[in-house]
Structures are given as structure tokens and as C-alpha cells.
Structure 1
Amino acid sequence: MNILTFTLSSVSAFGVLLSIGLAMYFPKAQTQTSKFSNILLSILLLTASLRVVKPLLLVYAELPQWLDRLARTSMAVSAPLLLFYILAVLENKRDIKRLDYLHFLVPLIYLCLPFLDQPFNRTLYAFLLVQNVVYVGVSVFTIISHHQQHHTLVYHWVVLLTVSMSMIIGCYVFAFLYDGSIFFLCRSSIFAYSSLIMLLTLSILSKKFIFALPKAEKYKNSKVPSEKIEELYFRICTTVEAQQLYLDADLTLQKLAEMVGLTAREISQVINLQTQTNFSDWINGFRIEAAKRKITSREYRNQKIAAIAFDSGFNTLSSFNATFKNKTGYTPTEYRNVNTTENLN
């Protein structure tokens, strides 16, 4: 065994074992994201590790056909999982609906119908790669559309995760188009995946991104006196409501800080401690209340839901629908129908 093969084997084994450990840790971890999103992240790590380790195993032996297909299937599953994880974090998606399972129909068919790929079907494999690229593209679009709407640490975490997964998928696309060698896939995909796993591990150990410290410990050394929190919160709310700042879709923590005369950190602390939520969720609460008033008003009776969403401070309809359902238990259309019926009665 040469040094390169030994190094690849060691890095791969370390990355896969560490990712399995992280996958077991996330469902019970205390993070700034929901338990549902943590479970999705766990499954995403498991499927990605299964795909990444396959090229290395091929260096040593020919894999059984079922294991080879399972690895390719995991690649097709990883991309939709990435999109669902992003939606869970950025749009508070809490579960998978029946129609959502259609996203996994292609990998399911590929796994259950082995004759489609015996012998290896290059066209079918190309289709799986294209599917991955499309999902990555949709994921990137979703992230861009939520720019400045979310807590910086959470948003940056989603960006870094997407970049890492894109690198892994990009390695397979490049190998398919230009290289095709097992050693190229070993070097490139394992490097990209190991980078992701190390990023995750360092984030947990250093309490960064979604693993940031709990609020009480986070603000332990803050200069804002605890007895001033309520007074400052009233001041912030008064400014936001009086000037209807929530209607500005581009409103950021820094912009609000400048208007109120506090630092961004101080406003974040006050909102966190007073409402147990972050700036994004807090400001969206004002927007949803404004939307509820518009939906039930005569002035907006004939307006489309999309127009109400944009007039209320949201810059994407999907974000508005998800936030509205999360905070009211109804979709905007259901809320309009219920209130229209009550008014008629």
C-alpha cells in the first residue's frame, strides 16, 4: 500500500466515522434550529458519507452490485435532503408533506429497479447528476432569496453547508465529464467531505453558527443592565411600530440599531432575552400581524395573497406562506376564508 492510498484511507475512515457520530449527535443537540432540521441534517450526513466512501472502497475491491447501487442512490437522495434542510432552517418547515415525497421518487425507482442500470448505464447516471445540479441550483436560489431575512450566524451556516455539498457534487460532475478516475474522486470528494465534517466539528466545539451559546451564557458579559432590558425593548418596539419599519423587506439588525440609537448586538440581546427568539422571527411577527389585518380588511379583499405578502414586508411569497402558517396555524388563503365566513355570520 503506497502513502497516497494509505492517506486517503485514513482520511476517509476518519471522516465517515466522525460523520456517523455527528449524525447520532444532531437529533439531540441544542442548536438555534429546530429538531426536525437537525434530523434532516443527520440523514444528509449519512447519505453523503455513504456516497463519498464508495470510490475508496473500489480501490481495494469490486463492490457488490447492491452496494454500488445504494451508493449512487444516496447521491440522488442527498440533493433533495439539502433543499429540505434549507427550507427547514430558513422557512421554518416543520415536517415533510405527502407531495414532498415525490422528490425522492427518482432515487427510489433507481434503487428498486436494478435492471435499469445493468450493466452501468452512463445516460442514467448523467440524469442523476443533472438532478443533483438542479437541486443545488434551487437550494442556492432559496438561500439568495432569504438574504438579510435571517440571523447572520444561521444564514452563514446554511451558506457554508451548501457550498460544501456543492463541492462534493461538483467533484462527481467533473469526474463524469473530464476525468473519470477513481483516484480523482477519492482525492476530491473526500477532501470536500472531510472539510464539511471538520467544519461541523469545529463549529460544535467553538459554539459557532447554529451551535452558538444559549442566550443567558451568551450575554453574561454584556454591558446592558438587566433592569434596562424591558425599557429598551419598549423603545425598540415603539420605533418599529411608529415608523412601520417592518414593512421594509430589506430591514436589517444594523439598520434598526442606527434608527434606535443602540448597537446591533444590544438590540439582538434585548430581543433575544425579552422574546426568546431572534431578530428575523421577531420582525416577521410584526409583518404577519400587518398581513392579517390586510387579509381581513375590505381594502385588500380583492388583492392577491402575493400582493399582501410584499406589502407586509416579505420579499418572497414562499417565506411569507411558511411564516404565516407557522405563526397562525393557517395558510393565508385559509385564514382569509375563515375570517370572511365569520364576518358573514
Structure 2
Amino acid sequence: MSELILVLCWLGVVQSVLLGTYFLSNARDKINYLFLGLTLLMIGIRVAKSTIYLFNPDPPLWVMNVGFAAHALLGPLFLIYIQSLFQKSPKRILVILQFIPALVILAFSSILSLDDFWYRGGYSALLYYTLIYLALGWSLVVVSRKAKPLASVILILLTTITIFQVSYFSNYILRLTPYEAGAVVHSLLIYLISFLVLKDNNVFNIQKKKKYDNLNLSTDEIDRYKKKLIDVIENQKPFLNTNFSLAQCASLTGIPTYILSYVLSNALNQNFVNLINSYRVEEAKKLLADSSKQHISIAGVAHDCGFNTLSSFNSAFKKFTGITPSDYRKKIPA
């Protein structure tokens, strides 16, 4: 059993570091990615410290204190990450001030011993310190969710981070859970989160809606833009061009790209690719059903309707009709 726990913990460490690195590498214009990446890296370090301590009761002092320093960063990073989700990030100086406790622990990592400091109130203070940040973070979520609801996967992530941190409080202060509980639970849930990120790599990018924050369009304006868009697409059929893009659509309609994106999202409830593919599929259905066009291959139909590849045509056709183009053609009476 201990071997299984050891493997789970180290797998959690590796995955947390990899996922944290992924978010950091994509944090150039996404401040929430920066703090999420740092949070996951600190969790990885904290779990590594716990795993080493669990299976080696006498680890080097610096290893213990690096783990405690990472723990001291988790509370502030948790709160700052939540603030960034709601575009309420604190000033840089306030962020730096919140990192001071962790920096102090690192500075004195060679002298802060378990018996003389951590077990004489230092660890308890750290756990209560973290608990305060968790409470502040969740309070902000509750207060702000009505104005800007969070995706369920972000709530899963926040819950995972919370369970991980509370587990140490539950173990040391309340004596309710085993020491390894947090590390094991985190290791299991971090793979679920990683799967969701792989499924949709924009799942955590709440800030993508920011460009619409100051866009105030009346219902009449939205309807007018929507009508203009549909008229151009249906009458000129620009979607038959395999390279038809959002920028080209904006040029044809005379609607700025950002307004076009807004209308697609809010008036038509879909993105540009789905809209264009839906028209291409409708055009393909006409060709497939036309008895005079039966000599055209499926690949030929795909190209004539604006698809770059046969595979993209098959995928889109099945998405909108539930069957493949070949099956659709077979169903048409001779």
C-alpha cells in the first residue's frame, strides 16, 4: 500500500509541475495563467516535500523549508488567482508584500528547524495563515459569481486546491486525516484537470471575454449586423472559398472583426468556423442529392463546398447531420 501511495504522490508532483509549466508558458497576455501556473508549481513542490518526509523521516532541513516556503505562497497565490479571474488583481507592490513570508522562510531555511520553530507554533501559524487566504478567496468567488459566473472546471480546480491545503490543517490542527491525504487526493484530481485542459486548452481563459466589456450594442444594432452578415453569406456564398476567413467576412460585410465576433457569439450563439461549416454542409447536401451530380466524388463535393480536406468535410458533415456524406448519398432515392 505504501508503494502505491509513493507512486501516486510522485505522479501528482510531476503532473502538477508539467501543468504549471504549461500555464506559465502561455501567460504572456493572460495574467490568470501566470498565477495559476505558479500555484500549481508551488503545490508540486509542497507535495514533493510531503512525499520525501513521508518516506524519509529525517530529510535535509533545506528540503523541509523549501516545502514550507511553497506552502506559504499557496494562500496568496490562491487569492490573487481568483482576483485575476474577475479582473481585480492587486497592485504589484501588494503582491510582493504577500510573498514576504515565503521569502523569509527561504532566507532562514538553514536554521528554521522542526523542533525549535515549526513544531513550536510556526507550522500552526502557517496553516491558519493559509486558511485565512482560502476564506478570502472563496468569499470573493461567492460575491463575484453573480456578475461573472465561473466555469465548472475552474470551480473543480479551486476545490482541489482548497482540499489540498485544508488537508494539512485537518491533519495537524484537527487530527482528523492522515498526513498523506492531501497529496493523494491532489494527485488524483490533477489528472482530471489535465484531461479537461487537453480537451479544451482555453477552458481556463476567462479573460477572453474582456474585449467585449466596453462594447455596448443595442438590440437593433445587433439585429442589423446579423441581417447584413446572413445576407452576404447566403447571397454571395463566400464560404465556397476554401480560404474564407473572419477577416475576409468583415471586409465583405463592412462590419469590424470584433463586432462580427460579438454578433456571432451573442446573436447566433456560435463561432465563425461553425457558422461557415453549417452553410458548407447545406451546400454539400444539395450536391449529394442532385442526380446530375452523382459522378462527382465525395472529395470533389468537399472541395466544391469550400472544405480544405476530405477529413474536415466528413467531420463537419457528421457533426451537423449525424451521418457521413457517403451514407447521406446512399439514402437519396435513385
2:198 aligned residue: 205
1:185 aligned residue: 179
Written as runs of structure 1 = structure 2, the 5 A alignment for 1:241-320 is 268=266, 270=268
Displacement of 1:34 in angstroms is 5.0
Residue-by-residue CA offset, 1:3-27 (whole Å, 9 max, x unaligned): x111112111211111222122113
Uncovered stretches (5+) of structure 1, i.e. residues with no partner = 216-226, 235-264, 275-345
The number of aligned residues is 221
Which amino acid is the alignment partner of residue 137 of structure 1?
A
Displacement of 1:132 in angstroms is 0.3
Which amino acid is the alignment partner of residue 46 of structure 1?
L
Task: Name the CA distance, whole Å, in 1 between partners of 2:174 and 2:24.
Answer: 39
| CA 1:151–1:29: 2 relative to 1, 3 Å | farther
2:4 aligned residue: 7
1:22 aligned residue: 19
Which amino acid is the alignment partner of residue 210 of structure 1?
F
- Is 1:35 aligned to residue 33 of structure 2? no
- Which structure ranks higher in relative contact order (CA pairs < 8 Å, sequence separation ≥ 6)? 1
Task: Name the CA distance, whole Å, in 2 between partners of 1:70 and 1:87.
Answer: 26
Displacement of 1:92 in angstroms is 5.3
Displacement of 1:150 in angstroms is 1.8
Displacement of 1:86 in angstroms is 0.8
The percent of aligned pairs where both chains have the same amino acid is: 18
Give the conservation status (yes or no) of the 8 Å contact 2:153–2:196. Answer: no
Give the conservation status (yes or no) of the 8 Å contact 2:264–2:271. Answer: no
Displacement of 1:205 in angstroms is 2.4
Task: Name the CA distance, whole Å, in 2 between partners of 1:160 and 1:34.
Answer: 24
Which amino acid is the alignment partner of residue 161 of structure 1?
L
Displacement of 1:271 in angstroms is 8.0
**SS in structure 1 at match of 2:99:** helix
Task: Name the CA distance, whole Å, in 1 between partners of 2:94 and 2:39.
Answer: 20
Task: Name the CA distance, whole Å, in 2 between partners of 1:203 and 1:101.
Answer: 31
1:81 aligned residue: 77
Give the conservation status (yes or no) of the 8 Å contact 1:26–1:41. Answer: yes
| Pair member with larger Rg | 2
Task: Name the CA distance, whole Å, in 1 between partners of 2:98 and 2:150.
Answer: 29
Displacement of 1:38 in angstroms is 0.9
Task: Name the CA distance, whole Å, in 1 between partners of 2:16 and 2:224.
Answer: 41
| CA 1:145–1:79: 2 relative to 1, 3 Å | same
| CA 1:268–1:165: 2 relative to 1, 3 Å | same
Written as runs of structure 1 = structure 2, the 5 A alignment for 1:103-252 is 103-114=98-109, 115-117=111-113, 119-122=116-119, 123-153=121-151, 156-179=152-175, 184-186=178-180, 188-207=181-200, 209-210=203-204, 230-231=225-226
RMSD of aligned alpha carbons: 3.5
Displacement of 1:160 in angstroms is 2.1
| CA 1:233–1:151: 2 relative to 1, 3 Å | farther
Uncovered stretches (5+) of structure 2, i.e. residues with no partner = 210-221, 230-262, 273-334
Give the conservation status (yes or no) of the 8 Å contact 2:21–2:41. Answer: no
Give the conservation status (yes or no) of the 8 Å contact 1:11–1:194. Answer: yes
Task: Name the CA distance, whole Å, in 1 between partners of 2:87 and 2:138.
Answer: 14
1:59 aligned residue: 54
Q: Using structure 1 for the length normalisation, give the TM-score.
A: 0.56
| CA 1:56–1:98: 2 relative to 1, 3 Å | same
